[in-house]
Chains A and B, each alone.
Chain A
């Protein structure tokens, strides 16, 4: 009998950081296929540039910190894939590269690398680029406009439905078109049905716990139901609010980051509820048409506190249970 000496734990879970990231890469690749369908090669080019920027920056910074590069860590690839999907197709490469560098160098590596960052790198990178290039980041080409890769885009840029909602107007987009992703918006955030399917896949694979996205999107939906910004039925308001901008994408891919979100299920519920409320308040009263990313960044700072509060509550409940 061959005995192999190893350290505890001896019962290994099939899931590890690499499988979590690989699952996310798979679903993001599906979104890139949809982005390619609507916007052409420019979507793939943006994704490739972003992934290369993020991965190279990650490797260089890891070496500068005197550590060995872990080639099985795909977190930088996930960040690189998420960033262009939050941006308009055909955006200048400077914006994509600066977002990637900020996300990896400032939001991730400065805090100690993978697993140590406080803020979601993709959210931080998008926030930085939104502050630097506000005009470019929220002007979108129409789907099926074939955009040039390296030259400046000459196609007509329009505002998304979130812009109309911000000023209390009813978006002119058909709800069916919005479900299918056939409207102007961020490259990856418009494919509503595909994003929902991705969410189901991630929950089925246990990459993501359902408490976080469901509480986030549920709170956002409730807010839109009770405080509609447009003079339509509450259900139509919910549909427009969730399908416009990047609320759905943020709720599935950004807020569910395992490093920056709370660890306990009960904490995730509370975190998602507060984040959903903040996201809707930021969308309504913030400077940009969709500031839900900034709400996520703000909540990232409170994730450890929410975990601590949840731990106290659980201890109190356990003590009370034992006393009874």
Chain B
């Protein structure tokens, strides 16, 4: 079986694969509490995406620069300590963008200090990266988190509240149950299934291009299907 196109596709998308193909939330199940619990409005989605970017990107850069120099058992506590300090910075950034958002986020902003994107990738992946790759990884994982947050928040705010960015919208369906965490779980599950479906579709397309199904007309002489 030829895998040239598949390998070429994987190499070309190696940096941006966490955005759609291997989304950190939908494929790896990271940072789920934020996506399920806090994604009830687009304002929340924007605030949390900015906050997670402020927390994760510098911490990942720190992990790439000093990760290998710190003993393994001390790495995560150091990352969490730095992330906690950055959460304070993100709080001011979020308050500057939208002053009322901070109250509605509640504990979710504080939980960013121990978000699983940072803990899992910071422990397993980032220490092997150089400065630029770590920064890119931070940006890419933030974007991938943001995309899922925005999609889920859009659905839940529109269907649950009939609002968009806090402004009332004339939408025919109103289901207040969409604002409950259970609906968030269901929505994330459905999105994860769709992401897997499209990922497999792309791989299958590339495989088919490299290995087209053989017909009788193309078979060599004497060979039977």
Contact = CB atoms under 8 A, between A and B. Distances in A.
Q: How large is the interface on B (under 10, 10 to 19, 20 to 34, 35 or more residues)?
A: 10 to 19
A106 B187 CA distance: 10
A133 B186 CA distance: 19
B60 to A, nearest CB: 35
A131 interface: yes
Interface stretch (B130-138, B161-169, B171-179): B171-179
A132 interface: yes
A271 B2 CA distance: 54
A131 B180 contact: yes
Contacts of A131: 176-177, 180, 182
Contacts of B186: 106
A94 B177 CA distance: 13
A132 B177 contact: yes
Contacts of B176: 131-133
A98 interface: yes
A133 B176 CA distance: 7
A201 interface: no
A95 to B, nearest CB: 9
A94 B174 CA distance: 9
A84 to B, nearest CB: 18
A128 interface: yes
Contact of A98 (B175, B180, B182, B190): B175
Most buried by A among B177, B178, B189: B177
Interface in B150-172: none
Interface in B15-45: none
Contacts of A94: 173
Nearest to A130: B177
B26 to A, nearest CB: 16
Interface in A117-176: 128-129, 131-133
B1 to A, nearest CB: 24
Interface residues of A, number: 9
B173 A128 contact: no
A277 B133 CA distance: 57
Contacts of A129: 177
A120 to B, nearest CB: 16
Interface in A94-109: 94, 98, 106
Contacts of A98: 173, 175
B200 to A, nearest CB: 13
A150 B220 CA distance: 68
B195 to A, nearest CB: 15
Nearest to B178: A132
A150 to B, nearest CB: 16
Contacts of B190: 110
Contacts of A106: 186
Interface in A256-299: none
Contacts of B177: 128-129, 131-132
A222 to B, nearest CB: 32
A182 B7 CA distance: 71
A215 to B, nearest CB: 29
For the complex of A and B, the 4 pairs showing the least CB-CB separation, nearest first, are: A132-B177, A131-B177, A132-B175, A132-B176
Given A131-B176, A131-B177, 11 more contacts: A94-B173, A98-B173, A98-B175, A110-B189, A110-B190, A128-B177, A129-B177, A131-B182, A132-B176, A132-B177, A132-B178
